[in-house]
Amino acid sequence: MEQGLEQGSGMEQSNRAVIPIKFQLPAFSILLPVPAVLRLGLHVIVAALAILMTLISAAAGQEGEGQNSMQDQDALQALPVALAVRVSSTPQRARLVIDLSETSSFAFVSLDEPRRIAVDVRVSGSRARDRGEAAGQGLIKNYEISMIGEDRLRTTLLLSASAQVQQAYVLEPFDDQPARLVVDIIGASDEEFSARVRADREAFLAIAGQKEDAGGNQEGQDLFRAEMDHVSDAPGASKVQSDSRPLILIDPGHGGADGGARSPDGVQEKEITLLFARELREVLIASGRFDVALTREGDVAVMLEERVQLARDNRADLLISLHADSFEDTQIRGASVYIRDEQATDVLDKVLAENENKADLLAGFGLGQSEKSEERLVDILVDLMRREMRRQSFMVGLSIVEQLRQSVRIRRFPMRRADFFVLQSPDVPSILLELGFLSNDLDVRNLKSEQWRKRVADAVARGIGAYFDGNGS
């Protein structure tokens, strides 16, 4: 019934670590030419950055005055409260965390003389201390917190060196953890910092001008929203800059006649993986940082070889294969990330036996064509490349696990190894994400929940982002 059963060999001692992945090749499959994956040129800037009305005064060196006297009291009371503010800092990076009673919107801006980054979040009040030293030493010297008007908490981070926001996001409450605004900051060159300050100021002035034209004297939420919208579209806004976006190839497992695992109530794995793939694509594209493609767009069969080939032919920077398999032990649940087992039988070695393929491989890696007399050298290089890809796969896996851990239930040993055929590209970092198990009722409920999937997609996207930040320069 199940052809092509692949065995996993787990990292942990448990004899439960072997997870059979079911896939079926169509009985009379024909090798189709691999279609080129289109790189999506969409460029949506969603770095939630806004330069707010009050920041004009901050930029000009005056502190903002409360300007929301006409604020609707009901709207104000609906806003969350800031519970605590924490800043940790090393010479390379820093993180600001604001605990919130509920999720809220936020904005940030870079300012100079002195160099600082101001982060505003919409809240009705704060229980946090009004200033503090950053824990650790490094990028951030100290910080100050103040309410700007009735509906905004500003945290001003005083920088000891040029720095920039790497990513900023709001986490939903989870278990006993409150909602959180997290702002990650990394070092930048002085030029980068100055350019950011300028861009923020210009974007702000453009908005201020438009407001005057509109004769707008809006207050409160409308104003905030309008500014958010404008600044999000403003050229030169402080988004994370990158000249060429990495291509993320998302591989929804199974498809067509191969439905994959099935929950007791009839949900098929192939449906879940495709749904999640689309959602993850949206989040990644919205970040403005990635090109994204899927190995399948609909309910069609795609052979494993083809999935691997798609990643290689398109020079994907990451292949992320999605699954939600079944397990005989119905207690097993939670998300996990697989990379390929170093010890596993290497099917691709057969292909690599042909010199041409090796040369092709190396060309793809930017090493150029080698002479046949250098066969041995080629072997060594291919081996090195493969090791490097496994190392990269491990790094990206870790990065994703790190983010998942903060958002959803994950398995006790979430970073796992197994011999998955689809992960064998020698030149594309590849990971397999088991979203959960269709054999576990609680997981099934999660997998069917759009809200849960969104939370996972957000976490995975952050993990991918962090991985590429670490490898960017």
Interacting residue ranges for Zn ion, rule: CB under 5 A: 253, 260, 323, 325
CB of 457 to Zn ion, least distance (A): 18
Q: For 302-371, list the strands marked E by DSSP.
A: 318-323, 335-340
CB of 34 to Zn ion, least distance (A): 21
Torsion over CA: 159, 164, 166, 168 (sign): positive
Cis ω before 173 (30° cut-off from 0): no
Could you give the angle at which helices 441-448 and 450-472 cross, rounded to 10 degrees? 80
Query: 108 or 338: whose CB is closer to Zn ion?
Result: 338
The two tokens of residue 46 are 């969603």
CB of 253 to Zn ion, least distance (A): 4
CB of 362 to Zn ion, least distance (A): 32
- Name 324's Cβ contacts closer than 8 Å, sequence gap at least 6: 253, 260, 261, 269, 272, 273, 434, 435, 436, 437, 438, 443, 447
DSSP for 20-34? Answer: PBP----TT---PPP
What single-letter amino acid sits at 92? Q
Among 360, 338, 337, which Cα is nearest to 348's? Answer: 360
Query: 95 or 323: whose CB is closer to Zn ion?
Result: 323
Say if strands 93-100 and 81-89 run parallel, antiparallel, or are unpaired: antiparallel
Among 170, 190, 166, which Cα is nearest to 469's? Answer: 166
Whether 311 and 249 have beta carbons less than 8 Å apart is answered as yes
Query: 188 or 302: whose CB is closer to Zn ion?
Result: 302
Say if strands 318-323 and 247-252 run parallel, antiparallel, or are unpaired: parallel
CB of 137 to Zn ion, least distance (A): 47
Query: 2 or 113: whose CB is closer to Zn ion?
Result: 2
Query: 253 or 288: whose CB is closer to Zn ion?
Result: 253
State how far the Cα of 32 lies from the Cα of 295, in Å rounded to an integer.
14
CB of 229 to Zn ion, least distance (A): 40
What residues are paired with 183 via a beta bridge? 96, 168
CB of 328 to Zn ion, least distance (A): 15
DSSP for 76-132? Answer: HHTS-EEEEEEEEE-SSEEEEEEEESS---EEEEEETTTTEEEEEEE-SEE-S-SEE
Query: 94 or 272: whose CB is closer to Zn ion?
Result: 272
The side-by-side arrangement of strands in the sheet containing 430-434 is: 291-294, 247-252, 318-323, 430-434, 335-340, 410-418
Query: 179 or 277: whose CB is closer to Zn ion?
Result: 277
State how far the Cα of 355 lies from the Cα of 373, in Å rounded to an integer.
11
**Closest CB to Zn ion: residue number:** 323
Angle 54-56-58 (CA atoms, 0-180°, nearest 5)? 75
Query: 19 or 159: whose CB is closer to Zn ion?
Result: 19
The two tokens of residue 353 are 């036996």
CB of 276 to Zn ion, least distance (A): 12
CB of 325 to Zn ion, least distance (A): 4
Query: 100 or 274: whose CB is closer to Zn ion?
Result: 274
CB of 49 to Zn ion, least distance (A): 38
Query: 178 or 253: whose CB is closer to Zn ion?
Result: 253
CB of 42 to Zn ion, least distance (A): 28
Query: 306 or 325: whose CB is closer to Zn ion?
Result: 325
The two tokens of residue 206 are 């453009």
DSSP-based three-state secondary structure for 255: strand
CB of 273 to Zn ion, least distance (A): 7
Query: 199 or 418: whose CB is closer to Zn ion?
Result: 418
